[in-house]
Amino acid sequence: MEGDGSNDGNRPRFLCEGVIFEILTRVSSESLWPCRWVCKEWRKLTYESNFNHHHCERTQTLSGFFIQESFKCNYSSSFISIDHSPTIPKPSLNFLPEKVKIEASSSKGLLCCVNQEVIRHRCYYVCKPTTQQWRKIPNPKNRYFAVRMAMFVQSSNPLRYKIVRFSQPVKMIKNYLRCEIFDSSNWAWKRSGDIGLPPLVGLPPGPGVLINGIFHWLTSENLIFAFDINYETNRMIRLQQEEPDLNNDFRVHKILADCKGRLSVIYITDHRMEQWVMTKYSKELWKKKHSVNLEALKSEECSSVMEALYTAEVALMTSINKVIWYNFQKNKAVVDRVKHFLASEKAFSFQSDLVPCNMRTE
């Protein structure tokens, strides 16, 4: 869907804002998405931090990130959140039969992980940490090194999901990605078409941003690589033509993010942050959303890197061994320290209920 996400003709005007808040904070996560398309007010309300906090508490839902650390070539992960209810145990991956590295996460509470053994003993797992359920899936072709993986849950009941794996030869003859897709419906990997890339274009570390069934990665040449996992098609999207107003600061870090269901690019320097949102996806039209002073991130937090948006006004930022929740509307930062150094692919968005799912195939 495109447009502003509103439906003014069917707007329920007979309910006051307080009643709407009480109702929507009790709606399941799966039912919340269609509610956001009722009208602009509902859409704005359901992306606010205050709403997210109450929704997690009232629906017994976990919302946050799995943070991945690396120590002596071994990976460990932990769940972090600023909306975690004390009545819900924090999920971990200790229930899996061996130590794993997270490869991809989904919006429905599933993770795709791989064990930390050598390639010939490689095993892939799909799991739901909140219910400690897991299932081993067949291995893809491990001849080539995986550069990116992504996971898309099509439905929760019955459970249907797809995993895409992009790999490249060690010695590249052509600038292309080898694409494989795992489909839980037939419980097998299949080889999709190779994807040609423009010269010098590469995919930096980080999970893809999922918008309307399409994964997006910001490339090294200021293009956005978009892959539709259902139709197995891809395209390159250009960033906005207008240059960001960051006072000619050459140290600009860029990330992609999901901003209220729309693709967003965020530019960050040591002093300012500027956010642009794609308002018309098919026409690649961008609009500047806001520019923020980053005064609260001075001193020891000045070297932090933004990883993702948690809510519309709260960002997740990291440094070598710290995780920072930064509210750029209130200009306030909350710092959590981690035990080891953070891995290159360090932050995986995670949202899940506590309902067991059917991990078996039919």
Same structural domain for residues 30 and 58?
no
Same structural domain for residues 39 and 116?
no
In a domain, 359, yes or no: no
In a domain, 362, yes or no: no
Same structural domain for residues 127 and 209?
yes
In a domain, 337, yes or no: yes
Closest CA to 173 of 190, 196, 146: 196
In a domain, 317, yes or no: yes
Q: In this predicted model, what pLDDT tens digit does every residue of 282-312 receive, in sequence order? A: 889 999 988 887 766 665 444 677 888 898 8
Q: Beginning with the edge strand found earlier in the chain, give each strand of the sheet holding 285-293 in spatial order.
A: 253-259, 262-268, 272-280, 285-293
Tokens, residue 195? 């994807």
Same structural domain for residues 192 and 272?
yes
Q: In this predicted model, what pLDDT tens digit does every residue of 106-140 receive, in sequence order? A: 988 999 999 986 656 789 999 999 999 999 999 99
Residue 105 has pLDDT above 70, yes or no: yes
Same structural domain for residues 138 and 228?
yes
Owning domain of residue 263:
53-352
Same structural domain for residues 12 and 82?
no
Residue 13 has pLDDT above 70, yes or no: no
Q: In this predicted model, what pLDDT tens digit does every residue of 163-221 receive, in sequence order? A: 999 988 765 556 788 999 999 999 999 999 888 888 767 777 778 999 988 999 998 77
Same structural domain for residues 176 and 298?
yes
Calpha distance 277→295 (Å, rounded) = 23
In this prediction, residue 169 carries a pLDDT of 72
Q: Average pLDDT for residues 243-252, to the nearest whole number?
A: 65
In a domain, 275, yes or no: yes
Span between the terminal Cα atoms of the chain, in Å: 32
Query: Scanning the structure block, which residue is given the tokens 């932090």?
Result: 304
Residues 296/331, Cβ–Cβ less than 8 Å: yes
Q: Average pLDDT for residues 313-338, to the nearest whole number?
A: 84
Q: In this predicted model, what pLDDT tens digit does every residue of 35-50 receive, in sequence order? A: 888 888 888 899 888 9
Residues 164/215, Cβ–Cβ less than 8 Å: yes
In this prediction, residue 248 carries a pLDDT of 60
Mean model confidence pLDDT for the chain = 84
Task: Give the SS3 label for residue 64.
Answer: strand
Same structural domain for residues 93 and 28?
no
**Cα dihedral sign, 341-347-353-358:** negative
In a domain, 134, yes or no: yes
Calpha distance 362→359 (Å, rounded) = 10
In a domain, 122, yes or no: yes
Residue 69 has pLDDT above 50, yes or no: yes
> How many domains would you assign to the chain?
2
In a domain, 330, yes or no: yes
Residue 24 has pLDDT above 90, yes or no: yes
Same structural domain for residues 231 and 137?
yes
In this prediction, residue 231 carries a pLDDT of 94
Query: Scanning the structure block, which residue is given the tokens 């500027």?
Result: 274
In this prediction, residue 298 carries a pLDDT of 60
* Identity at 222, one-letter amino acid code: N
- Domain stops at, among 16, 31, 46: 46
Calpha distance 68→78 (Å, rounded) = 7
With cut-offs at 50, 70 and 90, classify the pLDDT of residue 101: very high
Same structural domain for residues 25 and 146?
no
Same structural domain for residues 288 and 309?
yes
The full length of the chain comes to 362
Same structural domain for residues 108 and 19?
no
Which CATH number is 195's domain given?
Answer: 2.120.10.80
